[in-house]
Amino acid sequence: MSSKIKRDRGPRGVVGNGSLDTRGQGMTRRSFLTIGALGGCAAACSAATNASAQQPLGGWPDSYGMLTDFTMCVGCRSCEKACNEENGLPKPELSFDDERVFNEERRPNASAYTVVNRHENPADPDRPVYRKIQCNHCLEPACATACPIHAYTKTPEGPVIYDKDLCFGCRYCMIACPFYVPAYDYDSAFDPKIVKCVMCYDRIRDGRAPACAEACPMGAVTFGKRDKLLELARHRIEDGPGRYMNHIYGEREAGGTSWLYISGVPFTELGFPEGVPDRPMIELTQNYLDSVPMVFTVWPALFGLVYGAMRRKDKQQDNADDEVRSDGR
Amino acid sequence: MQETQAASSGFFNGFAPWFMNKLLMGRSWPDYARSLATPFNVMAVAILIVSIPSFYSRYTQGLSSVVHASAEYPWGLLLSWGIFAGEPLYACGFLAATAYYVLGYKGFKPLVRLGVMAGMLGYMFAASYLLIDLGRPWRLYFPMAVGFGPSSVLFIVAWHVCLYVNVQLLEFTPAILEWLGSKRIHKWVVSATVGLVILGTVLTTIHQSALGAMYLITPHKLHPLWYSSYLPVFFLSSAVFAAMAFLVMLMAVSVKYFRHMCDSAFVDSVERNTITLGKGIALSMYVYFALKVIGVAKDGLWSSLATPYGYWYLFEVAGMLLLPAVLMTYGVKSSNMFAIRAASVWAMLGIVLNRVNVNLVAYNWSMPDHFKHITPPLPETLMILSMITLQLMVMRWILNRMPVLGQASAYRDVH
């Protein structure tokens, strides 16, 4: 079924959207890094050549995703309310139907996995655009790449989840995330943790849609297989000329994300970060990590050689001195 | 053999004399207490007392009570100063040891221990900054024991710093053992030195470059003039001269303030080694400068230089790198100690500036209210000041007691 879709999509399909085999290679690459990081040597070097010849990573096959259509969102914040209840988060100061929250731009934080902001519509000032923000659930998440404790997991179902019992609070995932998503509850002295949307992972495993998608009365948030959502997004863009920008945000950004967006106004006007690379963020550090085992193998030999040469020189010097002394006698 | 017995029996039978000799520097309690009333100590204690409330609220109210605590700026000056600006200086131990033991710079012998001590202490303090900034400091060991994230550059940093602290501790053990008077372990540790030094070279190379590599994952957050695929090489090559400049200043401070602890070999070597290091500093500064220029050329960033951030970049690269390199060259050519030392301080400030630029000034440079976010709040500043004070006090404590600036006489021929 899914392979048929892939073939049908042809050149317009998601490049490198992995088959199971590709994914397997990706895992090999990660486990190679374990060896490298811990100083494994010769075997790792041969693996390095394989790694560089690999195809781009493409995420789990047949995984779920979400599609947010900003042209449909009316800013009712039902999604925020549903998310708050589903995840047992503290009640906000202003209620979910209080429009005053739109007076300032908000972002997800320790007590809200998702927020909706109001933006001016350059085309029609009477119809503002609402943007829902939450984790984009990258196919190759930068947070998971950056986490030194492996607290993040990209699940085969699609959500990027994390284990707060592993997190020690270095916040490098926040540095690494190209979308500024993870938040930290800095207010807690004894139990602080990283906080972000987990795409209602438990609900997805139970066969239900995430709470925000289920709660949206306008159908602006759609849950489904990512492949299908890409098709749906493409259809909407083609069927409504002039209604959408010709861009599915998340199709390629940071190597592709499980959460996709289509919009009637440019994404940068909605506060989407500019300059996010199209390739997975892990590729930016890959070469460096590959070089680590090289240092472990080459350096000791190189410096050992210099040390040996210096010792030899010293010995020759000593012998020469001895000869001079015995000659003198 | 007899000496060993004498030392160990002194160790167990006469705790009071041992204590006075080793810890009070041979003085009685009242004498020792009186000797502590110095202007430096008064300042130090004042700083420490003033910072206590900041530490208290950090550990009871959470990080938000002392730092900006924003989602866009997860790291502030605390880490920028404590880790990123500090660690290049602390490469001094690796540098002195590698030059002496491996590269055959026999003249560096008197300053090896000083370098290793300052480096070891620096790394320990860098880890202490983490104990402040980590959300859950009691999990500091997690990357080493509980969860492994081998695709993370920070994982590389954590492992290598952890290993390197232990290597440095072993490298410094001879001085501690001489202080305590143990000969057998001393001999054993000394014989392992060369292996340890080479391992230290590997670990330093990797983690100094890894500190730069940590920012490879932020291409659109870091200003293009500071973002470069060369970041690991930049960080490694600049650590080389930063560490040498730190060594120059360590020597200068030692002969001025700790002369009573210096043996004649150390005092006699200072001028010669300052010039040798000065040459090395000048050379590696020019190398680093060339790399920076190539970096700008490679990414085609010439036009970015004519922007406000470009001027700031030029200030860093011309004003805080090229100019001190020129002064260093002059100092070396004319054997001018003052010029070499001034250029060393200048070069170190340049490295601190570079690290702060990467971590703070150029990171998220296009965000609204950028400068408000990167200005450290008062508690954060106080904590940094008190950490610097503590580091100086511990360093002084060691220099005044352990045979760092001169080898204990009974051990002279062992090394």
Tens-digit pLDDT profile for residues B82-125 = 999 999 999 999 999 999 999 989 999 999 999 999 999 999 99
Q: Given CB atoms, is A303 within the 8 Å cutoff of chain B?
A: yes
pLDDT digits (tens, 9 = 90+) for A15-63: 333 333 333 333 334 444 444 444 433 333 333 333 443 444 567 888 9
% chain B with pLDDT above 70: 94
**Is A329 part of a structural domain of the chain?**
no
**A166 located within any domain:** yes
pLDDT (average), residues B219-228: 96
Confidence of residue B33 (pLDDT cuts 50, 70, 90): confident
> With an 8 Å Cβ cutoff, is B153 touching chain A?
yes
In a domain, A84, yes or no: yes
What is the count of structural domains for chain A?
2
- What is the residue-averaged pLDDT of chain B? 90
Is residue B194 situated within a structural domain? yes
Residue B413 in any domain: the answer is no
Q: What's the pLDDT at B21?
A: 75
The pTM score is 0.87
Q: What is the interface size between A and B, counted as CB pairs within 8 Å?
A: 183
- pLDDT, one tens digit per residue, over A238-247 is 998 889 999 9
- A305 and A202, same structural domain? no
Any CB–CB contact under 8 A between A277 and chain B?
yes
Q: Nearest chain A Cα to B206, which residue?
A: A292
Q: Does some domain include residue A180?
A: yes
Contact yes or no for A276 and B202 at CB 8 A: no
Q: What is the pLDDT of residue A56?
A: 46
- Statement to judge: residues A70 and A42 lie in one domain: no
Residues A164-180: tens digit of each pLDDT? 999 999 999 999 999 99
A10 band by pLDDT with thresholds 50, 70 and 90: very low
The residues near B175 (Cβ < 8 Å, ≥ 6 apart) are B113, B117, B402, B403, B404
The reply to whether A216 and A270 lie within a common domain is yes
Report strand pairing: A183-184 vs A194-195. Answer: antiparallel
Distance, in Å, from the CA atom of B288 to the CA atom of B244, rounded to the nearest integer, reads 14
3-state helix vs strand vs coil in chain A, percent to 5: 45, 10, 45
- Evaluate whether residue B79 is within a structural domain: yes
Q: How confident is residue B31, by pLDDT bands cut at 50, 70 and 90?
A: confident
More confident residue, A13 or B120: B120
From chain B residues 269-298, the ones with a CB under 8 A of any chain A CB are none
Is B390 a domain residue?
yes
Q: Which string of b and e fits B27-47 if b means at least 16 CB within 10 Å?
A: eeeeeeeeeeeeeeeeebeeb
Determine contact, residues A260/A66, Cβ cutoff 8 Å. Answer: yes
**Co-location of A24 and A138 in the same domain:** no
Do both A217 and A182 map to the same domain? yes
Claim to verify: residue A186 and residue A216 sit in the same structural domain: yes
Residue that is written with structure tokens 């951030």 in the block: B309
**Per-residue pLDDT tens for B153-193?**
999 999 999 999 989 888 888 888 888 877 777 777 777 88
Nearest chain B residue (CA) to A314: B104
B283: domain CATH number is 1.20.1630.10
Measured between CA atoms, the residue of chain B closest to residue A149 is B147
Domain contains B415:
no
Residue B347 in domain: yes
Q: Indicate whether A7 belongs to any domain.
A: no
- C-alpha A166/C-alpha A161 separation (Å) is 12
Nearest Cα neighbor of A170 from A198, A146, A140, A187 is: A146
Range of the domain at A21: 14-58+283-313
Pick A109's closest partner by Cβ from B71, B158, B198. Answer: B71
How far the first Cα of chain A sits from its last, in Å, is 96
Specify which residues A112 forms β-bridges with.
A109
Highest averaged pLDDT of the listed ranges A22-26, A323-327, B161-165, B271-275 = B271-275
> What stretch of H or E contains B21?
helix B15-22
Asked if residue B164 belongs to a domain, the reply is: yes
- CATH at A140: 3.30.70.20
Q: Which residues of B touch A303 (CB under 8 A)?
A: 98, 102, 198, 201
Asked if A192 reaches chain B (Cβ–Cβ under 8 Å), the answer is: yes
Of the two residues A228 and B184, the one the predictor is more confident about is A228
Same domain, A128 and A37: no
Sign of dihedral through CA atoms B281, B287, B292, B293? positive
* Whether A168 and A251 share a structural domain: yes
Q: Is residue A8 part of a domain?
A: no
Give residue-wise pLDDT tens across range A265-301: 999 999 999 899 999 999 999 999 999 999 999 999 9
Record: contact A166-B213, CB cut-off 8 A:
no
Give the pLDDT band (50/70/90) at residue B13.
low
The phi and psi torsions of B219 (rounded to 5 degrees) equal -60, -35
A292 and A210 co-located in one domain = no
* Residue A28: predicted pLDDT: 38
Chain A residues 194-233 with CB within 8 Å of chain B: none
Q: What is the mean pLDDT of residues B118-143?
A: 93
Bigger pLDDT: B45 vs A327: B45
Q: Is the pLDDT reported for residue B414 higher than 90?
A: no
Alpha helix stretches (DSSP H) within chain A = 2-9, 20-37, 42-52, 78-86, 142-146, 172-176, 201-205, 211-215, 226-239, 282-328
Q: Considering A279, A298, A321, which residue would you say is the last residue of a domain?
A: A279
Structural domain total, chain B: 1
What pLDDT is recorded for position B269?
A: 94
* Average pLDDT estimate for A65-94: 94
Look up residue A251 and give its DSSP letter. S
Q: Tell me the mean pLDDT in the region B222-249.
A: 97
Same domain, residue pair A37 and A115 = no
> Is the residue at A298 inside a domain?
yes
In angstroms, the CA B299 to CA B223 distance is 12
Query: How far does A92 lie from chain B, in Å, by closest CA?
Result: 19
Which residue type, as a one-letter code, is found at position A217? P
Q: What is the pLDDT of residue B249?
A: 97
Q: Of A199-203, B7-11, B154-158, B302-306, which range is least confident?
A: B7-11
Tokens for B185, please give them: 């372990």
pLDDT at A58: 64
Cβ–Cβ below 8 Å for B149 and A147: yes
A94 with A165, same domain? yes
Structural domain boundaries enclosing B93? 14-408
| Cα distance between the two ends of chain B | 18
Instruction: Note whether residue B9 is domain-resident.
Output: no
Does A81 lie in the same domain as A39?
A: no
Instruction: Tell me whether residue A6 is in a domain.
Output: no
Chain A, nearest residue to B360 by Cα: A175
Q: How high is the pLDDT of residue B12?
A: 54
Give the minimum alpha-carbon distance from B289 to chain A in angstroms, rounded to a whole number: 22
Residue B57's pLDDT is: 94
State residue A13's pLDDT score.
Answer: 31
Q: Tell whether the torsion through CA atoms of A233, A234, A240 and A246 is positive or negative.
A: positive
